[in-house]
């Protein structure tokens, strides 16, 4: 039953996003390059993605107002998908990434566009791509604001939801700032890591659940509990993302499974491994982490150290503990959410945690 419900919601979110983007494209029909640029944004948005954030918002709304998912909530739910994708476009520039969801990253699309069309006298194709990527992220952030600024809800409700949206945007930026600083260091504490992913990743899950409850005129208790549920699910989601980012199948994930190590990202796997490693293992890791020229043999050595130190097992257990916390939040009777929607919320958290990509 849940899979059919999820598929239906996913289709509705996609339709709302497609209609929104087609409307944007129609506004620039007179300019061939702007039209092309907007179409590349749409292509990026539809290159993949789980749509968990907008679906969580719609599901939280449905949990309080059962069987009343209409155009209005779907139209604002896509704001979080746009916000998330805007951050991905910028993340890929920061990470100097080539691939996202099995396709070229947004800035690489425009690097190659410049090459193919010989648009630059100076031939600075990479710079052109980066510039277009920065502008692309900014543009999609603006689209997110357009989507969330709706007149379909009472002004006081829309304002309360907008406050959550703005706070989510701020926290994403703070999280990326902290993550970028942590990449320069070798020893990072688990507490620093949790704080970083709480901001960068979990905050948007929290806001999705809270905003759905706000739009549904939920009680303060419902909004708070659903927000805690979303935040905890987001923490678990990112820990699993760390695991998949190093141990996942690139053919399934659509992105390299060595990039976190090469870029020097401080994942929970690395943090616990460094904490538990002996001197020899720490020396090996120090030569691999942040080394973009590390060989596949060296990357596999790092994976083996993650296994030997128990950091892989630790990360998996941590994600599962957080998943159990999600369930405990929903068991609070004050939330007044019926059993079917509790089950659906647990299922969507499980989808984000018990996954291979």
* DSSP per-residue letters across 288-353: HTT-TT--HHHHHHHHHHHHHTTHHHHHHHHHHHHHHHHHHHHT-GGG---HHHHHHHHHHHHHHH
Label residue 228 by pLDDT band (50, 70, 90). Answer: very high
Instruction: Check pLDDT > 70 for residue 340.
Output: yes
Q: Span 274-295, mean pLDDT?
A: 95
pLDDT score, position 68: 81
Report the C-alpha dihedral over residues 346, 14, 73, 100, rounded to 10 degrees. Answer: 70
pTM of the model: 0.95
pLDDT score, position 122: 63
Tens digit of each residue's pLDDT (9 = 90 or more) over 137-147: 999 999 999 99
- Comparing 209-223, 311-325, 332-346, the range with the smallest average pLDDT is 332-346
pLDDT score, position 126: 93
Angle, CA 242 vertex, CA 240 and CA 243 arms, to 5° = 65
Q: Which two tokens stand for residue 150?
A: 């709706």
Q: Span 302-322, mean pLDDT?
A: 97
Instruction: Check pLDDT > 90 for residue 54.
Output: yes
Instruction: Check pLDDT > 70 for residue 334.
Output: no
pLDDT score, position 154: 95
Label residue 120 by pLDDT band (50, 70, 90). Answer: low
- Comparing 74-78, 88-92, 117-121, 305-309, the range with the smallest average pLDDT is 117-121
- Per CATH, the number for 2-353 is 1.10.600.10
Tens digit of each residue's pLDDT (9 = 90 or more) over 152-176: 999 999 999 999 999 999 999 999 9
Secondary structure (3-state) at 99: strand
pLDDT score, position 124: 86
Instruction: Check pLDDT > 70 for residue 50.
Output: yes
pLDDT score, position 116: 87
Tens digit of each residue's pLDDT (9 = 90 or more) over 262-272: 999 999 999 99
Question: How high does pLDDT run on average in the chain?
Answer: 94
Tens digit of each residue's pLDDT (9 = 90 or more) over 182-202: 999 998 999 999 999 999 999
Tens digit of each residue's pLDDT (9 = 90 or more) over 65-83: 998 888 999 999 999 999 9
Q: How many CA atoms lie within 13 A of 50 on its CB side?
A: 17
Task: Give 122's contacts (C-beta < 8 A, 6+ positions apart).
Answer: none
Label residue 253 by pLDDT band (50, 70, 90). Answer: confident
Helix (H) or strand (E) segment spanning residue 100? strand 99-100
Nearest to 237 by CA among 66, 56, 63: 56
Tens digit of each residue's pLDDT (9 = 90 or more) over 101-114: 999 999 999 999 98
pLDDT score, position 27: 97
> 60 to each of 13, 29, 49, 86, how far by Cα in Å?
14, 37, 20, 23
Instruction: Check pLDDT > 70 for residue 121.
Output: no
Distance between CA atoms of residues 263 and 93, nearest Å = 12
């Amino acid at each position: 039953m849940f899979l059919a419900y999820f598929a239906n919601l996913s289709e509705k979110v996609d339709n709302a996003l497609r209609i929104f983007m087609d409307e944007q494209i129609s506004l620039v029909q007179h300019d061939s390059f702007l039209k092309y640029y907007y179409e590349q944004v749409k292509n990026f948005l539809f290159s993949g993605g789980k749509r968990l954030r907008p679906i969580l918002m719609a599901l939280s709304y449905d949990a309080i107002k059962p069987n009343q998912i209409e155009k209005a909530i779907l139209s604002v739910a896509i704001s979080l998908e746009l916000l998330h994708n805007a951050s991905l476009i910028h993340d890929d520039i920061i990470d100097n990434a080539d691939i996202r969801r099995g396709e070229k990253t947004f800035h690489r699309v425009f690097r190659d566009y410049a090459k193919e069309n010989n648009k630059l006298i100076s031939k600075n194709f990479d710079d052109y791509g980066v510039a277009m990527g920065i502008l692309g992220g900014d543009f999609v952030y603006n689209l997110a604001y357009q989507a969330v600024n709706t007149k379909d809800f009472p002004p006081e409700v829309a304002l309360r939801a907008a406050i959550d949206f703005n706070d989510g945007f701020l926290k994403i930026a703070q999280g990326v700032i902290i993550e970028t600083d942590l990449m320069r260091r070798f020893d990072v504490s688990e507490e620093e890591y949790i704080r970083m992913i709480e901001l960068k990743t979990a905050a948007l899950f929290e806001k999705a659940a809270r905003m759905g409850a706000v739009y549904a005129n939920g009680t303060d208790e419902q909004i708070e509990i659903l927000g805690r549920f979303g935040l905890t699910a987001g923490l678990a989601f990112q820990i699993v993302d760390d695991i998949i980012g190093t141990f996942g199948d690139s053919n399934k994930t659509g992105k390299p499974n060595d990039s976190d190590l090469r870029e020097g990202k401080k994942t929970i796997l690395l943090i616990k491994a460094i904490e538990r490693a002996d001197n020899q293992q720490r020396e090996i890791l120090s030569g691999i982490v942040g080394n973009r020229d590390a060989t596949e043999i060296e990357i596999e050595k790092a994976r083996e150290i993650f296994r030997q130190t128990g950091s892989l097992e630790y990360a998996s257990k941590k994600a599962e503990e957080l998943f159990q916390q999600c369930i405990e939040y929903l068991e609070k009777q004050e939330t007044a959410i019926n059993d079917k929607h509790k089950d659906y919320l647990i299922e969507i958290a499980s989808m984000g945690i018990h996954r291979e990509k």
